[in-house]
Structure 1
Amino acid sequence: MKKKVIHFVQCALAKILFFGAVYPLQAQVSNPSSWESFVNSNENRLVSDTFRLQTFGKSEWDNWIFSLNGNSSVIQDKFTMKIPVGSGTTFQPFALSDYNEIKIVVHAAGLELAPKENLFFSVYREGADEKLVGHESTSEKDFLAYKDFIIGKNPNSLSILTLKASSSKEGYYMTDSVYAYGNIPSYSLFSGIGNWNDTILWSHLPPLRHRNALIKGDASITTDTYCKNVAINSGSLKINPVTRFILNESGLIRKRCLSLFRRSNSSFRPHHLP
């Protein structure tokens, strides 16, 4: 007897629309018997994937944990972290596995800065700790307009640091988005029985946002999950109540496997998200 899929979506925060259409899989993944070889081949093309994001406004997309240092604070109604000079923040390090050409982007600005009240980024990359200068204040009440600070060469940690001068006028820096992205295969294959977020069960990490899921097993979703498309063969997908499963596009599935749901309101787009 074929396995049945139990799919419950209950959401009090957003209206959910039902999409019952079934779409053909792309040619290279139309045959489930070749999924194992496909995901490890050059046909599984790389895509740019934002895998860590923080926008300081309790967004459902925020997944980069951080800790505040000194007098730093989050102003939630302005979706901004305020970093008075002499303060900073540290973001949780992440593993480099399966990603390449990783970059971290900090969208930051500054106000009322005294000379030498500078902005720094402390990162770990290429096997060493580095301290990078982001902005050097050179005048009284110096002003830094919002700009992107891009840190390349595969960093896997980030701390934002600021220097306070003896002539300080209580200046501060601020950021409204910090994210990390890199290249990773577009398709990832789920095998076995377990949770969607269990990295061991996927060939190339759990797919999110712009990536696609191929499922050959019994997967369960217990937290809000977002990806591009899903295909299921010889398996099932169970979504717990009060949990949302949202597809960025209409979806790729095999018939009789899964009903698709999509949120009615527009997707969140952070500033300069690649």
Structure 2
Amino acid sequence: MERKYLPSLSCLAFAVGLFLPVFIHAQDPADVPRDPSDWSAFVNGGDNPVMRDTFRMQTFRQLPEDNWPYELPDEATIIVNSDEPKLKGHYGSHSLKIPIKTRVDFAHFDLGIYQNAIIIPHFTCMYFPDDGILWAKTFRTNKADEAAIFTQSDVKDNLKELSFRSLTVSEMYPGISFFGTTESMQTSQSYYYIDSLYAYGDIPRYSLFTGQGGWNDTIRWSHLPTARRRSALIQGEATIDRPESADRILIGDGGLNLTARGSLKANNITLLSRTDGGAYLRSAGELDLGGQLTIEHTLPEKGKWYFFSLPFDLYLSGIDSDWTLGDSETTGTGDYLYLAEYDGDNRSLTQSATGNWRILDHPGSDALLIEKHKGYLIAIDEGATALTIRFSSKANGIPADFAQSERLTISLPVSNDGENDGWLLCGNPYPAPLPLKAIADNPDIDNRVYLYNNGNYQAYQIGSDQAIPAMSAFFVKAKQATTLESDLTATNGADLRSLIPVEGMTKALAEPQVPNSTTGLDAPALQTGIQVNGRQLAIHIPGQKVEIQLFNLSGQLRLQRSLSDGIGSIPLTLPEGIYLVKAYTDHKTYHLKIRIQD
């Protein structure tokens, strides 16, 4: 094999200029469709921007991002750069120090769908003999090239020190090795140093995850697993069980699960939420969110009140700028949203179960509007032009242990157990369904939660197999001041069939009462008129033609039926698993996530 010196090898370009070992950012985010059923076409089409991605790196600092394996010879060591003052121009804090005659190999990798890949090492040499040469060896299929990247002539004015320099290796090489040569026997102080090594390539920015599996299951992604400054679209159920990173994550008809061993570093996460389900985020690990958590919440209808909450404190500036917060003084129609809170103290003082809802006033400044742990009613004006509202947290306002365990302090004006005492509207503090098994037993409350459904309030036993939907709210009745505690990490999540439905209310705002009975294991019929009974999909939307579509988590249409009068039962002969149901009428579209199991 012929060795070549740098000037004669065109594929190696020596760059003495400034090279900063940072991630290369994409251009501004693309306008991603808000209907997850359109995501497959988006990621595979021309609107998915191509970006420069750092897909392999090694800084010798044991960072989570250091994903380029290498073989460390016995003679080589990892040093702290500040311990060797003669090293100049290094990046970071550590370097790999290698004797001149020792070879270090960085692992080969599959370029996959990456295009225009380059490798950039940052290196220097110290006390090389006069005939000393440092070589870089690169590899392609059935071919290897070697090039001299340092000789003694590179040391100007005979100084025995040299600043770090970078080298660009192009033509999509999948690996690289370094070694030095010399005939001299005086090499005890002759070393070369590498403080970082990066591989870049072009790849579509957005990758779509479908089905169920781990974050690194390549088969689940349209364009390889998302990492670093790339962005993810989740239309399935993804699990993270080790450190991962991304720029932007959008979760549609599916969810993201962080195990106790998992961690996620991201800039922004968006959940596409609906009153009947939609996206969720469950975490038992560590979440490092540098930007915002955004909830894009879609209401079924205009002009109705729906129970609502958020898993973070919301300030006025966190509401979508397309919407205006209305209050009791608002006149006219348009893109107004309204919020109402429940005054349980007033009910206790007046001993009246009517007139205790309060429309929130416009605060007039960027004040705290929605409190985490607190429940509300939300409605949009009948003259609004949309059904979806975007709510965003403060930047860098999500803690690392977000969505794990929560504690709500309940204070009461008096300690009494009368029918009108102790009522409190609580919010689901998690961006995921809250299983009633995750709420701790508490003798100071009546061990029930109350949710509005089928035109009235239903009581559900704490500890039963039900789950409160994400972004929803529920009543509790306390006997005295206490705390309501929950731990989402202690449960595996409720069966999707047990998700308690939440119904909208008209202008006559109902208030909860102490019931004669409590719902235990069996959930009431869904207000949408769609539910699963074993392997039957029951439809009850009388008087309307209904088109039914059933999709798997990969977005594939698996079943389609039509009911002329809106009433019927459809056999479910598909394999066990989770499916998405869409039911279309002339006036409304219903969404439901179901689990088929024997």
Could you tell me which of 80, 99, 121 is aligned with 1:106?
A: 121
Are residue 137 (structure 1) and residue 156 (structure 2) matched?
no
Are residue 177 (structure 1) and residue 196 (structure 2) matched?
yes
Could you tell me which of 55, 69, 79 is aligned with 2:94?
A: 79
Could you tell me which of 86, 94, 102 is aligned with 2:109?
A: 94
C-alpha distance in 1, partners of 2:130/2:270?
56
Q: State the SS of the aligned residue for 1:41.
A: coil
Residue 222 of structure 1 deviates from its aligned partner by: 0.6
Report the aligned-residue RMSD.
Answer: 2.2
**Contact 2:235–2:253, Cα closer than 8 Å, also in 1:** yes
Are residue 32 (structure 1) and residue 36 (structure 2) matched?
yes
Map 1:198-213 → 2, pairs under 5 A: 198-213=217-232
Residue 110 of structure 1 deviates from its aligned partner by: 1.2
Percent identity of equivalent pairs: 29
C-alpha distance in 1, partners of 2:41/2:183?
58
Give TM-score, length-normalised by structure 1: 0.80
Residue 250 of structure 1 deviates from its aligned partner by: 2.6
Residue 263 of structure 1 deviates from its aligned partner by: 5.3
Taking a change above 3 Å as real, the CA distance of residues 154 and 26 of structure 1, as seen in their structure-2 partners, is closer
Taking a change above 3 Å as real, the CA distance of residues 27 and 263 of structure 1, as seen in their structure-2 partners, is closer
- Report what 1:195 is aligned to: 214
**Contact 1:190–1:214, Cα closer than 8 Å, also in 2:** yes
- Report what 1:162 is aligned to: 180
C-alpha distance in 2, partners of 1:151/1:66?
18
C-alpha distance in 1, partners of 2:102/2:166?
20
Q: State the SS of the aligned residue for 1:27.
A: coil
Q: State the SS of the aligned residue for 2:269.
A: coil
Residue 104 of structure 1 deviates from its aligned partner by: 0.6
- Report what 1:262 is aligned to: 288
- Report what 1:272 is aligned to: none
Q: State the SS of the aligned residue for 1:253.
A: strand
C-alpha distance in 2, partners of 1:142/1:246?
42
1:135-176 deviation per Cα after TM superposition (whole angstroms, max 9, x unaligned) = 112376643320111101101011111113315342111011
Are residue 239 (structure 1) and residue 258 (structure 2) matched?
yes
Counterpart code for 1:113? F
1:223-255 deviation per Cα after TM superposition (whole angstroms, max 9, x unaligned) = 1111001111221211101421110x2333323
Which structure has the bigger radius of gyration? 2
Taking a change above 3 Å as real, the CA distance of residues 204 and 127 of structure 1, as seen in their structure-2 partners, is farther
Unaligned runs of 5+ in 2: 1-28, 82-92, 291-598
Give TM-score, length-normalised by structure 2: 0.38
Residue 178 of structure 1 deviates from its aligned partner by: 0.7
**Contact 2:254–2:280, Cα closer than 8 Å, also in 1:** no
Are residue 116 (structure 1) and residue 131 (structure 2) matched?
yes
1:6-35 deviation per Cα after TM superposition (whole angstroms, max 9, x unaligned) = xxxxxxxxxxxxxxxxxxx85333232211
Are residue 51 (structure 1) and residue 66 (structure 2) matched?
no
Q: State the SS of the aligned residue for 1:143.
A: coil
- Report what 1:148 is aligned to: 166
C-alpha distance in 2, partners of 1:67/1:175?
14
Q: State the SS of the aligned residue for 1:37.
A: helix
C-alpha distance in 2, partners of 1:244/1:194?
16
Counterpart code for 2:173? P
Q: State the SS of the aligned residue for 2:229.
A: coil
Residue 70 of structure 1 deviates from its aligned partner by: 6.0
Residue 210 of structure 1 deviates from its aligned partner by: 0.8
Taking a change above 3 Å as real, the CA distance of residues 117 and 253 of structure 1, as seen in their structure-2 partners, is farther
1:54-109 deviation per Cα after TM superposition (whole angstroms, max 9, x unaligned) = 11111121111100236222225751100111012111111011101101110001
Higher relative contact order (CA 8 A, sep 6+): 1
**Contact 1:114–1:142, Cα closer than 8 Å, also in 2:** no
**Contact 1:104–1:155, Cα closer than 8 Å, also in 2:** yes
Q: State the SS of the aligned residue for 1:38.
A: helix
**141-150 or 191-200, which moves further after superposition?**
141-150
Map 1:215-254 → 2, pairs under 5 A: 215-247=234-266, 249-254=267-272
C-alpha distance in 2, partners of 1:91/1:26?
35
**Contact 2:78–2:95, Cα closer than 8 Å, also in 1:** yes
Counterpart code for 2:245? Y
How many pairs align?
A: 239
Could you tell me which of 233, 239, 245 is aligned with 1:214?
A: 233
1:197-223 deviation per Cα after TM superposition (whole angstroms, max 9, x unaligned) = 111111111111111101111110011
C-alpha distance in 2, partners of 1:165/1:230?
55
**Contact 1:56–1:76, Cα closer than 8 Å, also in 2:** no
Unaligned runs of 5+ in 1: 1-24, 265-274
Taking a change above 3 Å as real, the CA distance of residues 116 and 258 of structure 1, as seen in their structure-2 partners, is farther
